[in-house]
Copies of this chain bind each other. A is one copy, B any other.
Amino acid sequence: MGVVASLEKEKPDTGISLLTSLVQSDMERVNRLILDMAAANAEMIPDVARHLIDSGGKRLRPMLTLASAAMFGYRGDGHVKLAASVEFMHTATLLHDDVVDESEMRRGKAAARMVWGNQASVLVGDYLLGQAFRKMVEVGSLEALAVLSNAASVIAEGEVMQLVAAKNLSTSEDEYIRVIEAKTAALFAAACEVGPIVAGADDKTRKAMADYGLYLGLAFQLVDDALDYGGSSASLGKRTGDDFREGKITLPVVIAHRGGDAQQRAFWARTIEQGTIVEGDLETATELMHRHGAIPATIERARHYGDKALMALEDMPHGDHRRSLLDVVEFCISRVH
């Protein structure tokens, strides 16, 4: 019954409805746990945390953890704790990201830092990360802890790499892929690897699921990059052009800059490197991207990684869970249409 209701409710998102229905009851436990974990002696903490938590993120990462454990027949509550920890790691990153990027919006509403300030965003992010570690320690799997603590380091390293590359137009496509592999794909990989770990799957299976998450994460981020220059604010949950205004190097910029003539490169230098942006620049940037096919090229690259994600699942146990994970790849890429 729950499944049918969920399928009906989720009709517009057919791509992900099998996943949401399969993990629905576990996700309810994750959501309750998330509220518990946001509790604290300082009232400001749950206020800030809920601002983000209630803002309708898809919670894709914790769903991946749940499905990745269930696919290997896991029974217990470890996957629920790990899923909540993964979501908290993600939320902590968002809080710090918005401070670093000076973002004004997140998921279609004011960024937490615009309401409570940068100071609160930094410290509440630290608290959520601490709570994530506490909860994953409770699960008692040193292997899962190794995967997730490694991801925490790699994500922060990727953020620093992005900060350093932020204004640097000589960033190559490969360098850019390394940045998003660290800052985005590493958590997707960890989210998918801890499932088979708690379920006691073998090393080859763990590796395949980590690969699936990694490639899915790369595809996801590249589609996000493309959407920033072509999507609508409603579907993206942030304003179109945020990356541009923040001087962020993304793959569309790398491609458009690489193909540009001297005048176009001067445009990118002024806007991205020097951060001098005037009325009409976003439209010019978007126009230049279309001229150089930067958006289709970015989506093609996303599809390439999406295909690798699908291939990683080839030897995984066939059935609903595997099918739901195949769907996620298509869902992520089709966001762009």
Contacts and interface: CB of A to CB of B under 8 A. Distances in A.
Interface of A: 40-45, 96, 99-100, 118-120, 122-124, 126-127, 129-131, 133-134, 137-138, 140, 142, 145-146, 149-150, 152-157, 159-161, 163-164, 178, 182
Contacts of A100: 119, 122-123
B146 A127 contact: no
A163 B117 CA distance: 11
B159 A123 contact: yes
A156 B41 contact: no
A138 B159 CA distance: 24
Contacts of A156: 123-124, 126-127, 129-130
A157 B45 contact: yes
A120 B163 contact: yes
B146 A131 contact: no
Nearest to A45: B160
A156 B158 CA distance: 23
A197 to B, nearest CB: 13
A142 B137 contact: yes
Given A150-B134, A160-B44, A129 B129 contact: yes
9 contacts: A40-B157, A41-B161, A41-B178, A45-B160, A127-B156, A130-B149, A130-B155, A131-B153, A137-B145
A300 to B, nearest CB: 27
A38 to B, nearest CB: 11
Contacts of A43: 164
B130 A153 contact: yes
